[in-house]
């Protein structure tokens, strides 16, 4: 059974811009789904609709098993500069009213899992871009969400850091069983990470194609240089090219 169902969702903003038109999409529990598309195709809007931060103009977002906790990672780390790393990660638990000692213990445990053990008392400004993003990831995962929504989280990082975070994200995904919806405009990133890629076309945003990536492929650094990876990237690029060639809907 799927975790979330997007049913014929359209979004028209107050200024008359049609961001999304008739999107339908099932998100299976436990899958790693990437949403790939050019900028301005409504990827972020779709993510915010799933999160419940926006209301659809038409259509519905269904949670067949009931709405669950979710985590959200933004393009920037979006940390509170006045709180320590531990305070930032513990924030969602604090807002849920959890006692201090318990939430700090859980946050510290989560920090260790993203590789930031020993940085609990550090201030966000003292961290590098990649470490800030790890803190952001830990904050999203600390509530043990069923669904993790990520909005181009690694787009602002350098390639070496991005590759390391890609690998670590896959580890976290495998071990936690969380469902991930990952928005990106990078073909290579989407192929490396995903089991399924949804390619979107712009103006208005709509689903142009869907691709499956063989889940049996080992996702490690050797995959990045394999012929299979190259073939998947070619195929995905072609689909993305088709999507970008699609004219605006009449």
Partner 1 sequence: MSLRVVAPIVMGVLMLALWEAAVRMAAIPPYILPGPILVAQTLIDDWGTLAPSLLVTLRITLEALAAAVLVGGLLAVLFSLSRWVELSLFPYAIILQVTPIVAIAPLIIVWANDVDLSLLICAWLVAFFPILSNTILGLRSVDPNLLDLFQLYGAGRWRTLVHLRLPAALPYFLGGLRISGGLALIGAVVAEFVAGTGGSASGLAWRILEAGYQLKIPRMFAALVLISATGIAIFLLLTLLSHLLLRRWHESALSTER
Query: Quick check: 76 binds partner 1 (CB under 8 A)?
Result: yes
Buried b (16+ CB within 10 A) or exposed e, 160-198: ebbbbbbbbbbebbeebebbbbbbbbebbbbbbbbbbbb
Q: Which of 7, 94, 106, 224 binds partner 1 (CB under 8 A)?
A: 94
A 10 A CB-CB count for 250 gives: 3
**Residue 163 to residue 171: CA distance in whole angstroms:** 13
Q: Please answer whether residues 85 and 121 qualify as being in contact, where contact means their C-beta atoms are separated by less than 8 angstroms.
A: yes
**Could you say whether residue 82 binds partner 1 (CB under 8 A)?**
yes
Of the CA atoms within 13 Å of residue 214, those in its CB half-sphere come to 9
**Nearest distance, CB of residue 76 and partner 1, angstroms:** 7
Mask of contacts with partner 1, 114-143, x by CB under 8 A? ---------xxx-----------------x
Report if residue 100 touches partner 1, rule: CB under 8 A: no
When binding is defined by CB under 8 A, the residue of 28, 74, 164, 176 that contacts partner 1 is 74
Of 24-32, 76-84, 178-186, 209-217, the window that binds partner 1 (rule: CB under 8 A) is 76-84
Write out the E strands in 37-99.
58-62, 70-73
Contact positions with partner 1 (CB under 8 A) in 37-56: 48, 51-53
Residue 114 vs 208, nearer CB to partner 1: 114
User: CB of residue 33 vs partner 1: minimum separation in angstroms?
Assistant: 19
- Scanning 31-84, the segments in alpha helix (DSSP H) are 43-51
Per the structure block, which two tokens stand in for 236?
């995905």
Q: Does 153 bind partner 1 (CB under 8 A)?
A: no
Distance CA 102, CA 90 (A): 10
Site membership for partner 1, residue 63 (CB under 8 A): no
- Contacts with partner 1 by CB under 8 A lie at 48, 51-53, 70, 72, 74, 76, 78, 80-83, 91-92, 94-96, 123-125, 143
């Amino acid at each position: 059974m799927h975790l979330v169902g997007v049913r014929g969702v359209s979004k028209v903003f107050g200024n008359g811009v049609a961001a999304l038109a008739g999107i339908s999409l099932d998100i299976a529990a436990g899958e790693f789904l990437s949403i790939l598309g050019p900028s301005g195709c409504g990827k972020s809007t779709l993510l915010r609709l799933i999160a419940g931060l926006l209301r659809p103009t038409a259509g519905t977002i269904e949670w067949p098993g009931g709405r669950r906790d979710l985590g959200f990672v933004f393009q920037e780390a979006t940390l509170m500069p006045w709180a320590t790393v531990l305070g930032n990660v513990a924030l969602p638990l604090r807002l849920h009213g959890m006692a201090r000692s318990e939430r700090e213990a859980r946050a510290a445990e989560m920090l260790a899992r993203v590789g930031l053990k020993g940085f609990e008392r550090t201030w966000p400004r003292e961290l590098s871009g990649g470490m800030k993003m790890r803190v952001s990831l830990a904050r999203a995962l600390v509530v043990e969400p069923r669904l993790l929504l990520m909005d181009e989280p690694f787009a602002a990082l350098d390639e070496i850091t991005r590759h390391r975070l890609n690998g670590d994200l896959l580890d976290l995904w495998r071990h936690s069983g969380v469902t991930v919806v990952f928005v990106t405009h990078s073909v290579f990133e989407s192929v490396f990470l995903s089991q399924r890629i949804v390619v979107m076309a712009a103006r208005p945003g709509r689903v142009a194609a869907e691709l499956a990536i063989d889940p049996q492929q080992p996702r490690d650094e050797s995959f990045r240089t394999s012929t299979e990876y190259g073939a998947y990237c070619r195929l995905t690029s072609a689909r993305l090219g088709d999507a970008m060639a699609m004219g605006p809907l009449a």
